[in-house]
Structure 1
Amino acid sequence: MPLCYILPVANQSNNRPVLRFAPSPTGHLHLGHALSAFENERWAAATGGRLLLRIEDIDTTRCRPEFVAALLEDLAWLDLSFEPWPRRQSEHFDLYREALDRLAGMGLLYRSYASRTEIAAAIDRADHPRDPGITRDPDGTPLYPRAALAAADDPAKRGPTEPFAFRLDMTAALAKAAVLVPPLFWREQASPQEAGFEAIPAAPERWGDVVLARKEFPASYHLAVVVDDALQGITHVVRGRDLYHATGLHRLLQTLLGLPEPIYHHHGLILGPDGEKLSKSARSTSLRVLRADGVTPAQIRGMAGIV
């Protein structure tokens, strides 16, 4: 069944708010994950909403079954309850492909064949000391220098088996969105007790021509998350402040695909001794280690600032 027919039905939830906690099983959960799970629990309780669990395992090279089992065990230990059954992204690749095909049908995607080495070289040339200040996205990554890589991305010069990425043509996408719903913004709600919200102007152009899929991966996080939120009828997205700027890009994709717009709340982050957010890549202390050290679920709530 086409995606556009599924979405309106899936978004009906008897007028109850629907929230989700969506960890990625690329490692063990840490205190920052616990904070986000507790915040979703708090919002669901305060609004009388439903709480869903989503396993964001679209990266089949880094996500492992043992991490899925471990996160389920950790969440049970924290006494967090979710509606059955968890949604697994790895079981819905066809839906992401359908969304990708819709964007392609609107002429909003192009194939990027340039390798990391070619991209780095083009960025170095553009960021020469005589012409400094190449534009970077909110995460600090240089924007894709499409004009400088036009020759490298010419399909006629590439073999049929060469790897590529599907990138969003941001200029075309913004023009399309401006026709659909100008101006583009998202609704940020400060707390579950407040009825009002702040309209935050979206600035998806800050991300440039983002990758939405690769030859070996059916969808990026950005594409998969908006499709999943729509299909699960998510009404409130409660997540960390580190994804604040990504919301502008997500609103763009929702607009282009005709998907429902959730309300957003971006909670604060737990920072490590170095002042950076906790992360699996930085090997932040996991909940499993804390549990082995005798820390209780109640103490975890206190460490996460949940009272």
Structure 2
Amino acid sequence: MQQLVMPKPELIIVLASPRGFCAGVERAITIVDKALEKYGAPVYVRHEIVHNKFVVNQLEAKGAVFVQELDEVPANAHVIFSAHGVPKSVPADAEARDLHYFDATCPLVSKVHREVEHHHAEGRTVLLIGHKGHPEVIGTMGQVPEGSVWLVETVADVATLPSALQGNDLAYATQTTLSVDEVVEIIAALKARFPEIYGPRKEDICYATTNRQLAVRKLAETVDALIVIGAPNSSNSVRLVEVAKNNGCAEARLYQRAMEIDWAWLQNKKRLGISAGASAPEVLVEEVIDACRDHFCVTLAEIKVVEEDVYFNIPGQLRS
């Protein structure tokens, strides 16, 4: 007796665009690739070059060795600093230990570093909007002497800042990967309490973070569920889930790989949105789509909010 094969349920997948790799991430990964090509393995990398295990594993397979601190790197070796940026003490330590280093800090993070240095040189106390313990925050605060920067994580933190700051020259800067909406609220609170506070000429949240959040905001209004592909320690990926939930899609989840997806969760869903954090490669998006095809009859669509054409050069020593 012939067994009846049930047809797969239909699912419309709507892709957010832009999504995935940004210019800063592309630059950082290229720096590691080019260093391996030029100098051969091993090339050492301090911390994850970007917050994505798939990317890290690929580079490890080519001969990159990831370390937490420079004391794990042998003398005269080549070492690369991650895209998130490092305190000034790190390159100073590398030079003291005769290490050959390349700085893969995203140029937009470096811009924030220079802002903080400028404000410190002008005698201002800097209020940095960001998340405690994030590598970018550690790197930014480490551009100036300890105590020169106060960290502000929430609107509530603004009210707890010491009254003594009222009389000081103040400036603010922000981590580049935060929620645009959340930062707007914190900046408004800072300006309300400290009307004379200095801010950046151009906002610090990077173009890629802004664009991916805008795409997810529009996507969230049109889908039943939304998957963000990214790592749990990736600030910009976590923020995309928050943006989706705050803009009409309560069923938003973060997954690193297709193998993690809870397929029962997607039962009875008709429209699934997919985006990817700035450190997640497009191959992982394709992996999720292919996995969906195993369970559903898939139709693809896309919401595009802007075309990105940003490119950052790699160090001259690696361009040949």
TM-score scaled to structure 1, two decimals?
A: 0.26
Is the strand fraction higher in 1 or 2? 2
